[in-house]
Amino acid sequence: MGLRIFALRVASWHSECFEGMANPRPEFGVFARLGSVTARVVLCLASLTVAKVTVILGQGVGPLVLGSAFKVTPDGSTTAQRNANTGGYTELFTITNNGSTSQTVTLTCWTTGPITCTGPDANSITVPALSSRNMPVGYDVGAAGTGHLIFKAANGQVSDTGAYIVPVVQPAIPVAVTPDGPAIVALASATITQRFTVQDIGTASSTYNLTATCNGSLTSCTTPASVTLAAGALTTVNVTYHTSTAGTTGRVTLKAVQSTLSSVSDTGWVSVTAGGAIDSLRADIASVNPGSTFERGLCLAIFVGAAAAAECGDLRIVHALATTRTLNKARTPTLLYNSQFAHPYPLVAANLTLPAGDANPDSVVVRLLFGVTQKDRRSWAGSAWAPGTTRRVIVGYDGLTETTGLYSYTLEITTWYGATSRVNTASGQLAVVNRSP
């Protein structure tokens, strides 16, 4: 059994076009045959905005009102990502009237998900025949997620809706406060200085209000009121506090809040146990430095491009020249570039261990000395260590003015506990090769 459809324009008025319609106008008819059953479908237009389909199947007649002759767009376009808990956004909807007469439509909006519609710019609008009008619709967003902004235009007889998909994301926090949660041992019944780092990781300069808090057995937290940082800049913020008797615990916290937007903030903290003793760090430089002989063949080489590699932390480039034959043997001269030879920057590493049972120092200062001449000085927060653990530090200097040769150095490691310090030293040699022009 097959379905056969025949379409033709209706040339005469049909009685089914008059039912419930003023000034109906027949447009076309469709005859469909399915086996022995024949159906006739007649489309009747009272105007270009109201339509009726009459289906005649045997003796039955059923009217069906079609959709509107105006259209709201877009239908499901996706907006740009919106940061969570922000507002004042606007999307543009277009109402198109395909009819032959002007249409006045009422306008409403609603949402799904973390979106709140603040309303179209007007409650109604008149759209001339065969024309379009744009309507801005405002909205705010809440928590991260995905929502829909839905806009409806209706004239009492028919309506249409358009929608935007709105992705809401949690923005990257443009400020970072570290450290985040290390456990340290601080001298009992003492005033301690904890070093925090505050960094602006956004794209613009900002001022951050700072708040230090202590809980548990810790008291008397103090810190600067605020810092102003350029984009990408960082600064050290010292928080002082007082510990109680040995064995007591607490936490010291530093919170940075952007002065113009309180939702932009970050927090760093350190868990503290009172106890331990003052001591110096143990230093090992022999196992982590090449000494007077630099065996580059022992270094890891990583491919970084054609004829280039990262070798021992330096850039190495090899360029082969034309092959020549001398004494019946082919030889290929090769040019070799090494960034450490072209611009020396010697580095000295050290493994520093805080003995078990010691208290964390407030800070650790390392100096690289050639005799009494300081070549480099670096410092770290004492909270980077925990009793019984080892950390590696590296110091270095610009050696462009050095001549090729072997140099003796001293690494001076100072641990500071308030105004009290402990010093340890280690000595070694390093080779400088300077082939700069």
* CATH code for the domain in which residue 305 is found: 2.60.40.150
CATH of the domain at 138: 2.60.40.2310
Select from 278, 280, 215 the least CA-distant residue to 243.
215
pTM over 0.85: no
| Whether residue 320 has pLDDT greater than 60 | yes
- Answer yes or no: do 215 and 359 share one domain: no
Residue 132 corresponds to which tokens in the numbers above? 């379009």
- Answer yes or no: do 306 and 433 share one domain: yes
Order of all β-strands in the sheet with 405-417: 373-381, 363-370, 405-417, 420-432
- Answer yes or no: do 99 and 123 share one domain: yes
Residue type, 97: N
User: Tell me, what's the pLDDT at 152?
Assistant: 94
Tell me the mean pLDDT in the region 77-89: 90
- Answer yes or no: do 317 and 404 share one domain: yes
Q: Confidence class of residue 328 from pLDDT cuts 50, 70 and 90?
A: very high
Which pLDDT tens digit goes with each residue over 177-228?
A: 999 999 999 999 999 999 999 999 888 899 999 999 999 999 999 988 899 9
Residue 63 corresponds to which tokens in the numbers above? 């009217």
- Answer yes or no: do 268 and 282 share one domain: no
Cα–Cα distance, 239 to 208 (Å, whole number): 15
SS3 state at 403: coil
Which pLDDT tens digit goes with each residue over 337-351?
A: 999 999 999 999 999
Which pLDDT tens digit goes with each residue over 140-175?
A: 999 889 999 999 999 877 889 999 999 998 877 789
How many CA atoms lie within 13 Å of 283's alpha carbon, on the beta-carbon side?
Answer: 25
User: Tell me, what's the pLDDT at 15?
Assistant: 39
Average the pLDDT over each of 19-23, 163-167, 300-304, 360-364 and give the range with the smallest value: 19-23
Contact 46, 24 (CB under 8 A): yes
What pairs with residue 109 in β-bridges?
151
- Answer yes or no: do 317 and 406 share one domain: yes
- Answer yes or no: do 80 and 12 share one domain: no
User: Tell me, what's the pLDDT at 58?
Assistant: 43
- Answer yes or no: do 349 and 396 share one domain: yes
| Whether residue 61 has pLDDT greater than 70 | no
Contacts of 59 (CB under 8 A, 6+ apart): none
Count of other CB atoms within 10 angstroms of residue 373: 8
Contacts of 324 (CB under 8 A, 6+ apart): 330, 331, 332, 333
| Whether residue 120 has pLDDT greater than 50 | yes
- Answer yes or no: do 219 and 95 share one domain: no
- Answer yes or no: do 406 and 312 share one domain: yes
Select from 306, 421, 321, 319 the least CA-distant residue to 362.
421
The percent of residues in the chain predicted with pLDDT above 70, rounded, is 84
The residue among 259, 274, 289 that closes a domain is: 274
| Whether residue 377 has pLDDT greater than 70 | yes
Q: How many domains would you assign to the chain?
A: 4
Sequence-ordered alpha helix ranges (H) in 284-370: 339-342
User: Tell me, what's the pLDDT at 62?
Assistant: 37
Tell me the mean pLDDT in the region 404-427: 96
User: Tell me, what's the pLDDT at 49?
Assistant: 41
SS3 state at 297: helix
Torsion angle (degrees, nearest 10) of CA 36, 37, 38, 41: -160
| Whether residue 8 has pLDDT greater than 70 | no
**Strand duo 159-169 + 324-326: pairing:** unpaired
| Whether residue 385 has pLDDT greater than 60 | yes
- Answer yes or no: do 37 and 138 share one domain: no
Select from 357, 363, 360 the least CA-distant residue to 186.
360
Which pLDDT tens digit goes with each residue over 265-306?
A: 999 999 999 999 999 999 999 999 998 888 888 888 999 988
Give the range of the structural domain holding residue 212, as residue numbers without chain letter. Answer: 175-274
The residue among 274, 294, 328 that closes a domain is: 274
- Answer yes or no: do 269 and 282 share one domain: no
Contacts of 329 (CB under 8 A, 6+ apart): none
Cα–Cα distance, 270 to 193 (Å, whole number): 12
